[in-house]
Chains A and B, each alone.
Chain A
Amino acid sequence: MKRRDFLKNLSLSAATLAVIPTMSFAADEKPKGSNALAYKDALAAITGGKTPEPSEKVSLKVPEIAENGAVVPVTVEIDYPMTDSDYVKAIHIFAAKNGNSRCIDAHLSPANGKAMLSTRVKLGETQEVIALAELSNGNFLIASQSVKVTIGGCG
């Protein structure tokens, strides 16, 4: 029970992007105009075209099956030093198939002590959730996991 407390203390932000759809049929609706941003473009806008390195240092915790697609808990923790000369500059989270796939950008400094972010994202349908760590040396680390958004199941 104690172990839960550290999550609360350390979480940098908790953004809730919630308009609760009753069903994942919400995904049927077309992305709305200028807000649309495909994953590839969103990624390139941050990396400037540089290829991120898939890394086990990026721990991405998401449920295998979302309990509610409107509020899917995501926790990202980067196993990386946070010194003045070498640190995680930002954590970005993407939802590959959302109309606007760029969910959150969290900017960090060595004063954060630890590169960790806990938040909620809205997922319109089953898709990959991606965590990108932007390092002070200009490199990028990346990890992803599929999250299933289902209408309902069987008992």
Chain B
Amino acid sequence: MEVSRRDFMHICAIFGIGMATISSAAPGGAAQISLKDIFSFKDTGNFTLLHMCDLHAHLKPLFWREPSTLISAPNLVGTPGFLCGDAFAKHYGLEPSSLDAYFDTHIDFEALAKKFGKMGGVAHIKTVLDHVRKTRGADNVLFLDSGDTWQGTGVALKSNGEAIVKAQNYLGVDVMVGHWEFTYGKKRVKELIGMLDAKFISQNIIGDDSFADDFEELIFEPYTIEERGGAKIGIIGQSFPFTSTANPKEFTQGWSFGLRLESLQEYVNELKDEHKVDCVVLLSHDGFSVDQEVARKVQGIDFILSGHTHDPSPMPIVIDGTVIVIAGSHGKYIGRLDIDAKDGKVNNYEYKLIPIASNIIPADPAGVKLVDELYAPYAAEMNEVLGKTKNILYKRDTFFSTFDQLINDAILDEMKCDISFTPGYRWGTTVLAGENILMDNVYEMCGITYPNVYTFELEGDKIAKLLEDIADNVFNENPLYQQGGDMSRLGGATYDITVGNPNGKRITNLKIGGKNIDLKKIYIVSSWGGNLQNAGSNLQKAKTRAVYDVVRDYIKRKKVVDVSNKGNVKLVDFDCGCPRKGSKSC
């Protein structure tokens, strides 16, 4: 099987540059790229897997700027999962200023945003799904969702996830796994699964409450077997392995997560040996780099449909015979994977990452109507104009992004703290320079079920240790010990970082309020979205307030916000944000 797979790499190489060629020949822009170009695909094999990951509840099209800094441990920099900007464009052969370059990199983002418009939106996604279902035959198509679907917008938060489940049912999701889904709490997760037409599967969530009936039992079905195009497809679910450390434990008390590669191997064997499936798929929320390690450690998986790290990967990567794909985030892409599998063997495949360009792909009218209905109860709050932004507000980048800085500015202003911590999530939104900031945008940045900003006291020594601990979660050279996010963003502080240094020795020159940190001093700290407050003392309860309210009030007071992209972190061992493989520079 391995030999034949390698042969197919040349096939994959065709599409990634296909779109770019078209747009470079016709630099005029969106008008020159037709729906036909976006749909163009060499139909292959007997069935199609359509893949979505990390929608983060974005029912409407949005602007989403990819990172301009994506740093990892030196052994990983410049490899798929840690590519951005020019390094990304060169790796995948993107033409400058093409639609692909606009979707996949931050380069010339604002100019190209005006040219190509917004990305994603369920009504536009549906048009692509319908096209594939029509041309391939609906019985030959499966739609798989790698999770982080129910959380990330105001409409999701206000409806406790229900609006998004309705959208998934409209899109026709067949199977899903989860991560942020669990932040609605165990009871609500089960209620939402009850409303969901899709199957929710996970082999890596086990009961660990020794007084409960499900102690050491699976909480969800570990896998499902679906028949499409005459093939038996075994799909194993892998929810986010580190949910209970990355998000508050109380949401999943009694459930234990983890990679659980031993049981994963057993299920792969069971599907092949007992159920005689033709193709084994891992539907995963591990993250792109972790799944590359999974492919090295677990034998016999044919395809991994990955998620969590929000990477757009125009080409699959093949590791030890396992083909790994990941389809970006925020509804920007749908991955299309045509597979030829029969007699217990995969013979061929073809892949394309389809950009959901909302100005080119028409909206399905039923989807537009549905989204309007889902937004209607909250429209007045969501559409409130809070103010304007002078510069682009975006989320992502390893250390700093402008929308995070705005949130930290708001917290520093209201809480009068010395230092503020904002989480390094990779979901959010982008607001172009000169545009209005809506309340909807604020929820897109911080709409979570544990929104409180806590203000408390913490010794300098603990602040320094905490930053090192977070840095090791982001920059550990072994992907299995990473958690797939970015560094926490700091307000009121600056530091230098040497990413390649060992754990505990990466951060130097840490300054709070412009002065070197005093390890013995007690600082006033504000944070949200983590559990840092548990490490502090003298919590100022009266100040505790939801982050989206703090940010809303700040923007309203300011009327026009002006956040520069200068950043507050100096990178010592790299010269730029998007280094090439094996290099310290771009």
- Listed in ascending order, the chain A residues whose CB lies under 8 Å from chain B are 1, 3-4, 7-8, 22-25, 61, 63-68, 73, 126, 146, 148, 150-155
Contact = CB atoms under 8 A, between A and B. Distances in A.
Contacts of B481: 64-65, 146, 148
A155 B423 contact: yes
Contact of A150 (B262, B427, B469, B532): B469
A150 B474 CA distance: 12
A139 B245 CA distance: 39
Given A153-B483, A153-B485, A67 B531 contact: no
Given A7-B216, A67-B244, A152 B258 contact: no
A99 B528 CA distance: 33
A6 to B, nearest CB: 10
Interface string B461-481: 010011001101110100011
Nearest to B473: A153
25 contacts: A4-B216, A8-B216, A22-B534, A22-B535, A24-B469, A63-B258, A64-B241, A64-B481, A67-B244, A67-B245, A67-B249, A67-B258, A68-B244, A126-B472, A150-B245, A150-B483, A152-B246, A152-B470, A152-B532, A153-B483, A154-B473, A154-B474, A154-B485, A155-B180, A155-B246
Contacts of B179: 155
Interface of B: 179-180, 206, 208, 216-218, 241-242, 244-247, 249, 256-259, 262-263, 266, 423-425, 427, 462, 465-466, 469-470, 472-474, 476, 480-481, 483-488, 503, 529-532, 534-535
Closest 3 pairs (CB-CB, A-B): A154-B485, A153-B483, A154-B424
A130 to B, nearest CB: 18
A134 to B, nearest CB: 24
A65 B485 CA distance: 15
B258 A154 contact: no
A23 B532 CA distance: 9
A67 B486 contact: no
Nearest to B293: A64
Given A3-B266, A4-B206, A148-B481, 6 more contacts: A3-B263, A23-B534, A63-B259, A65-B483, A154-B424, A154-B484
A89 B488 CA distance: 48
Contacts of B466: 151
Nearest to A118: B216
Contacts of B532: 151-152
Contacts, number: 96
B469 A151 contact: yes
Contacts of B484: 154
A91 to B, nearest CB: 18
B280 to A, nearest CB: 18
Contact of A153 (B180, B208, B246): B246
B279 to A, nearest CB: 23
A65 B242 contact: yes
A4 B218 contact: yes
B497 to A, nearest CB: 15
Given A63-B258, A67-B245, A153-B485, A25 B473 contact: no
Contacts of B258: 63-65, 67
Contacts of A3: 263, 266
Contacts of A67: 244-245, 249, 256-258
Contacts of A153: 242, 245-246, 470, 473, 483, 485
Contacts of A146: 481
Among B486, B488, B535, max chain A CB count under 10 A is at B535
B480 A154 contact: no
Contact of A25 (B180, B216, B535): B535
Given A67-B256, A154-B425, A25 B462 contact: yes
Contacts of A155: 179-180, 246-247, 423, 425, 427, 485, 529
Contacts of A126: 472, 503
B484 to A, nearest CB: 7
Nearest to A11: B216
B49 to A, nearest CB: 26
A155 B243 CA distance: 8
Contacts of A25: 462, 465, 535
B256 A154 contact: no
